[in-house]
Amino acid sequence: MKLGKWKLLLPLALLVVGATIGTSGALAKSAQSSDVKVAIMTDCKGAFAFGYEVDTAGTIAAFSQYAGAKPKNKKKPSAGMTGGSAGGKKLNIVGIGCGDETPALALKETRRLMVQLGGEVMIGPLSGDEAVSIAQWAKQNPQKTVIIGTAGSQDPTMQIAPKNLFRYHGDGAQWNAGLGEIVYKKLGWRTAALIGDDYSFPWTSAAGIIADFCGIGGKITKRVWTPPAGGDYAPFIRQLPAPDKVDGYFWLVGGANTSAALTAFEQAYGPVNAKQHSGNLFLYFLGANTTVAPRLVGAYMGGFGTFQTGGLKTKQAVQYVKNSSKWFTGQNVNDGFFYNYWNAAWALVQGLNKSGGRTGAALQRALPKTLRPGFQVANNGVLKLDSRRQAIQDQYPLQITKATGTGSVTTTIAGYVPNVDQTFGGYFGPNKPAPGRNYPRCVKKKLPWQGKIKVVKNGVITNQTIK
């Protein structure tokens, strides 16, 4: 080989590298734009993979309703949207993040969306630990704004609470408000065991149940936590007390894993008695409506403050369903994933209109402190944010029932708990630990709504209280 040949090789190699880098947008560049760059952070892998289209649908539907956008494909929300502006600036969705409920991937995706793709506002994430991770990131990036999509861990707006992070829905504890009191009064539970995934959302979810159930006098005799990756639940089920040793069980196993966990329970203890089981939203939502709920007809459960199959007949709720239903086909607008992303996007449009399209601190000041979401009833239908930018929302404990006529399984509203705040009247707080495996402790304490949960009949809130 001639020496001259390899001399040619080096410039050639550098040319190839340079071209690759150039086409990848790696070289430093500064781009000025009149757009508002919005990133949607959701999951497309793992137990919540279905959320990718649902969350995107909620976001784009709100942009369509309130900012003049139009979905590109009514059957495929992730295809994006055309048009749409707020505060005089065009809404530009720079990317849709693809998480897998792990904090590590959520942070990587956040950096990609908000740094590489230049996102100024993020709507998301979907899951609890993701929100913990992104809240920490937000704290270090005060010029960026995060409006949580539908993640329910307590920490992001309680212990971490960066000023540029907002949540227009409840956390996992708020979503279970009233449930403990209902099983205590309606089913006569006095002792219960709980089983849940071992991460921040189920811990928060359990915290709401514990506060409520123990607050009225119940006892949690066992807490069992399973690795969130799912898999074989049999060894964990065996750690639970047998059905004759406890009045009931609270289920907080996440995503698509609830069915597998329940099957393991049935293999260990025989067919389930629905009156002995209760749990959070995972008993019905996220596909559990076909795998779990049919085995638990009659059981009470938490939710999102929404109703998978509709139900509330207030004017505001009816209007929301009407407005949100027209943008996509095949989307259940009563689903908490759709509803919460819708509200986040709607709040963003309001904020941008007020800030004149400016982002950063101007947008953070302008984001609304109140909202009129479809399923809010208290305060004349106005949802308020607290001082840590966390929603104080109404909650509706649900009961799994059989639909009249079709015989299919559905949910009906079991009660109405107005104005559930994140602290549960001081039970939780920014200077107290975040919920964990053994926190909060089971103590009797009067919650603000104790004894005041209203009965809901046929979607109408009555003046009767749950007894």
Residues of the shown chain interacting with another protein in the complex, contacts defined by CB under 8 A: 1-3, 5-6, 9-10, 13-14, 20-21, 24-29, 44, 52, 78, 95-96, 98, 102-105, 107, 111-112, 115-117, 129, 132-133, 136-137, 139-140, 153, 155, 159-162, 198-200, 227-228, 430-431, 433-434, 436-437
Pick the closer one to another protein by CB: 5 or 441. Answer: 5
**From the CB of residue 402, how many other CB atoms can be counted at a distance below 10 Å?**
15
User: With respect to another protein, which residue has the nearer C-beta, 111 or 190?
Assistant: 111
Q: Which residues pair with 222 in a beta bridge?
A: 193
* Structural tokens at position 50: 């279905």
Taking the least distance from each CB to another protein, the nearer of 45 and 457 is 45
> What is the spatial distance between Cα 126 and Cα 130, in angstroms, rounded to a whole number?
7
Residue 180 near residue 214 (C-beta atoms within 8 A) = yes
Single out the residue of 286, 280, 314 nearest to residue 300, CA to CA: 280
Q: Which two tokens stand for residue 134?
A: 């992104």
Q: How far is the CB of 394 from another protein (least distance, A)?
A: 27
Tokens of residue 236, six digits: 């964990």
Decide whether 228 or 311 has the Cβ nearer to another protein: 228
- Does residue 234 contact residue 267 with C-beta atoms inside 8 Å? yes
Calpha distance 396→392 (Å, rounded):
13
- Shortest spacing between CB 324 and another protein, in angstroms: 23
Contact in structure between 343 and 75 (CB atoms under 8 Å)? no
| Residue with smaller CB distance to another protein, 155 or 181 | 155
* Shortest Å distance, C-beta 386 to another protein: 15
Closest distance of CB 379 from another protein, Å: 28
Structure tokens at 114: 């908000």
| 66 and 323 Cβ atoms separated by less than 8 Å | no
Distance CA 321, CA 375 (A): 10
Structure tokens of 132?
Answer: 């913990």
**How near is the Cβ of 401 to another protein at its closest, in Å?**
34
Instruction: Judge whether 178 and 394 are in contact, CB under 8 Å.
Output: no
Between 84 and 128, CB nearer to another protein: 128
CB of 321 to another protein, least distance (A): 28
Shortest distance, position 433 Cβ to another protein, whole Å: 8
Which regions of 50-182 does DSSP assign to beta strands (E)?
A: 69-71, 81-83, 85-86, 89-99, 121-123, 145-147, 165-166
Taking the least distance from each CB to another protein, the nearer of 165 and 317 is 165
